[in-house]
Amino acid sequence: MKHKYLKLSGFIVLVFLAAGIFFYHQFQPATEFSWGLNFSQSRARELGFDPRQLYLDILSDLKPDKIRLSAYWNQIERQRGTYDFAEIDDFLNLARQYDTEVILVVGKKQPRWPECHVPSWARDLSEFEQQNAELEMVVAAINHFKSFEAVKIWQVQNEPLFGFGEMCPKANRDFLKEEIALVKSLDSRPVMVADSGEFGRWLPTATTGADLFGTTMYRVVRNDFTGYFRYPLPPAFFRIKAGVVQTFTPMRNLIGVELQAEPWLSDSVSKIDLNTQMALMNPKVFRENIEYAKAAGFHDNYLWGVEWWYWLAKQHNDWGMWALAKDLLSGKIE
């Protein structure tokens, strides 16, 4: 019996190894790379900055060609049926002024904690009622923002099928498909979905009707059980998962939509020792993550953490992260 078990285990290992090799070679990695940024007005406020000034400094000094912005539900519809798009309008007008292309995220689940950015009036609604309210908001948002030329890609929610965040369970897949179809019915620009790079299964998310797929990429994370933890995953892990997506879907453009360039903290920056923060993320680690992303092979990569670089620069006169990102975005680092 033990001999049969070992033979079966060995066979299974060979099957998985063969599948991994097959899917690895299905993905054609990029040889040239494009770098963009993520920006969160909520994170800017959390760190004590005026979002518009920080955003302007990003556009004027770092000069990114691409940026990902979030239309947070709890900020654009504080009262049901009453929409305030003024801040995002300003961001989009400035992006056009600086020739910066925008991915605009819409929907309940968005980048940055607590992940599900639900307005207070919608929190106690039933699941069905909240979904209908979300769809109403998405219709209003797309119909409003589609007049802005800077918007090149719509992203519907963020990691919607990955259960992570405060009171933020994974989305119903059928509802996600409905939401994506709704956005596509309202505007012709491509629609992207995203999933967790390390824990997401990718294929269920990639087969919801979107045109593009984005993955997050974090190297060192923290949880209450293990503390800080470095993922022991080689870049080939991402290539294999990309090969699966490209084998079973028509998607050819996969995007590294969040590349970690700030420390994963358990509390606010004011409560974590600066030396601890700098041990977790610094220009050396940043360069290592850049090389890791290149080895994974996605052409487009969006850096995560610009607000923290700004905080280091303004509060601690440490421009190291900001300067390195500037060199990368300007093409001084190949």
pLDDT digits (tens, 9 = 90+) for 302-319: 999 999 999 999 999 999
**Residue 252 corresponds to which tokens in the numbers above?**
């050819």
**Residue 45 corresponds to which tokens in the numbers above?**
């406020």
pLDDT of residue 316: 98
Distance CA 77, CA 71 (A): 10
pLDDT of residue 78: 98
Q: For residue 186, what are the domain limits?
A: 2-330
Strands 227-230 and 220-223, how do they pair? antiparallel
Strands 101-106 and 151-156, how do they pair? parallel
Domain count, the chain: 1
* DSSP bridge pairs for 109: 116
pLDDT of residue 317: 98
pLDDT of residue 109: 98
For residue 167, is it left (φ>0), alpha (ψ between -120 and 50) or beta?
A: left
**pLDDT < 50 positions in the chain:** none
Question: CATH code at 270?
Answer: 3.20.20.80
Residues 6+ apart with CB under 8 A from 225: none
The pTM assigned to this predicted structure is 0.95
pLDDT of residue 1: 57
Q: What one-character-per-residue DSSP string does 303-325 give?
A: EE-HHHHHHHHHHH---HHHHHH
pLDDT of residue 273: 96
The closest of 72, 259, 231 to 155, measured between CA atoms, is 72
* DSSP bridge pairs for 258: 216
Distance CA 117, CA 73 (A): 6
- Dump pLDDT digits (tens) for 169-184: 999 999 999 999 999 9
